[in-house]
Amino acid sequence: MKLSTVLLAIAVSVPTVSAQARGGYPPPPTTRSWVTLKAATDQRRYTPGQPIKVRLTATNTFKRGAYLRFTSGQRFDFTVYSVGKSEAVYTWSAARMFMQSLGSLWLKPAQSQSYEANIGDEMGQLKPGKYRLLARLTNSPRRIAAAPVDFEITNLSLSMTARTDKVSYKIGEPVQIEIAVANRAGKANRVRFGSGMTYDVIISDESEKPIWTYGANLRFIRVLGEVTWLKGETKTYSASWNGVALPGETIPAKLKPGRYRVQAVLQSTPQLYAAPIYIDITD
């Protein structure tokens, strides 16, 4: 899916304009920089719990090469606000730790450096509504900010939950996943699907790299369709992972002990995501 394009923003020094002047958001950039930062999300509309993928691209627009200097291992940050509100509802760095060491990035003229990350639910699931994402690099002394990106959380009037049969497994031990999708609309609810694939399950390692998906080796009819949930109805689904990572390009990926993320997805339009489950895999 193509990333949505947003305007560029220019680097700033510490702002002096009051936040109230812009309806609560941080003030706009006031000074130019040799680097511009572009931010984009993979979609404009999401459902509650759905990961929001963000890409930041820093480009040297100066005629000579130059450094970006950092005071820690952190290179960027995201802050999310409800549209029109002054208090942030999500900050990407809040639940993360970074090495306290100096670092730098050298960019040649016209050279770019991209960063990608997911906005998750570490600070609580975003509720249906309109939101504004502010993205910036954490270079010092100037902090380069991108133009804000607006997105929306929509409600399908469905509630999706998932669970595994255990919380800890041995390497190679099967994992059973049970999924329930309940209609909360108070009436019959008709949901659109882009193919015969109703749901999927994605298992990722600690680096957020997917290692297995339920639908990877299955075939589904590629026609639009609709599924109706009656008033108060709950539909259940199941998937079984054999505990082995999907093959890589040449050889099978070796599964390692660690914490893994289990994410169930209803393949509706738009997609609906259950809250992620975390399991431990041991020797």
Residue 33 is assigned to a structural domain of this protein: yes
Whether the pLDDT of residue 70 is over 50: the answer is yes
Whether the pLDDT of residue 54 is over 60: the answer is yes
CATH of the domain at 62: 2.60.40.2360
Whether the pLDDT of residue 74 is over 90: the answer is yes
CB 90 within 8 A of CB 27: no
Which two three-digit tokens encode residue 217?
């080796």
Same domain, 72 and 180: no
Whether the pLDDT of residue 18 is over 90: the answer is no
Ramachandran assignment for 23, one of left (phi > 0), alpha (psi -120 to 50 degrees), beta (any other): left
Distances (CA, A) of 155 to 1, 160, 184: 21, 12, 10
Residue 258 is assigned to a structural domain of this protein: yes
Same domain, 178 and 265: yes
Same domain, 68 and 21: yes
Which two three-digit tokens encode residue 192?
């659109």
Instruction: Give the structural domain span for 271.
Output: 158-282
Whether the pLDDT of residue 8 is over 50: the answer is no
pTM: 0.57
Q: What is the pLDDT of residue 15?
A: 33
Whether the pLDDT of residue 169 is over 70: the answer is yes
Same domain, 36 and 127: yes
Residue 4 is assigned to a structural domain of this protein: no
Give how many domains the chain has, as a whole number. 2
Same domain, 226 and 258: yes
